[in-house]
Amino acid sequence: MLAPQDEDQGGAAPRAKAILMITLNGRARQDLVDETMLLVDYLREVCGLTGTKQGCDGGECGACTVLVDDRPRLACSTLAHQVAGRRVETIEGLARNGRMSRLQQAFHEKLGAQCGFCTPGMIMAAEALLRRNPDPTPERIRAALSGNLCRCTGYVKIVESVRAAAGPAVEAEAAR
């Protein structure tokens, strides 16, 4: 379902828009979106979810990492329409009923964030890892986060935060 863009483009051909249907943080959404809009812009501008950061705009820093069907994806290099019909999760979707997720809490308690700019992308990449591997080694954590840059830390506290979040999940599984 295409519709021309409503705004005057100064003689340029109007850009096509189409309905985008996704599940965003557990809720179905339908929005009329420019077919060339990046996922990061859709999340921030259309959905008002500003936790996903725009860092490099070139797929190099990982600040814009979100989950698409439980896999990490760089929102700055993904068109919004590429995730049509899929589940997208942002940092805002990890908290439940106003409470931080286990991983968010671990980052808070273990001081895994300093300035906080890279933290949402870092947490989303770590969340994807923990969903696939609930007890990752420090080496595996570093590998999973290798696409996420942090200029403030030496990554030690970040790895400790992910390990701390993994601990309760592993203990709960062992108790079953």
CB within 8 A of 166, min separation 6: which ones? 130, 134, 135, 136
Tell me the pTM: 0.87
Examine the fold and report which residue of 38, 67, 93 is the final residue of a domain before the chain moves on: 93
Asked whether residue 33 falls in the same domain as residue 103, the answer is no
CB within 8 A of 149, min separation 6: which ones? 55, 60, 61, 62, 63, 118
Condensed to tens digits (0 to 9), the pLDDT of residues 32-75 reads 999 999 999 999 999 999 999 999 989 999 999 999 999 999 99
- Residue 158 tokens read as 């970040």
CATH number at residue 34: 3.10.20.30
Asked whether residue 123 falls in the same domain as residue 85, the answer is no
Q: Which residues span the domain enclosing 143?
A: 97-176
The mean pLDDT of 123-151, rounded to a whole number, is: 96
Examine the fold and report which residue of 45, 69, 93 is the final residue of a domain before the chain moves on: 93
| Counted domains in the chain | 2
Closest by Cα among 115, 106, 91, 118 to 159: 106
176 vs 174: CA distance, rounded Å: 5
pLDDT at residue 108 greater than cutoff 90? yes
Asked whether residue 38 falls in the same domain as residue 107, the answer is no
Asked whether residue 9 falls in the same domain as residue 89, the answer is yes
Asked whether residue 155 falls in the same domain as residue 102, the answer is yes
43 vs 88: CA distance, rounded Å: 10
Asked whether residue 33 falls in the same domain as residue 118, the answer is no
What's the pLDDT score for residue 99? 96
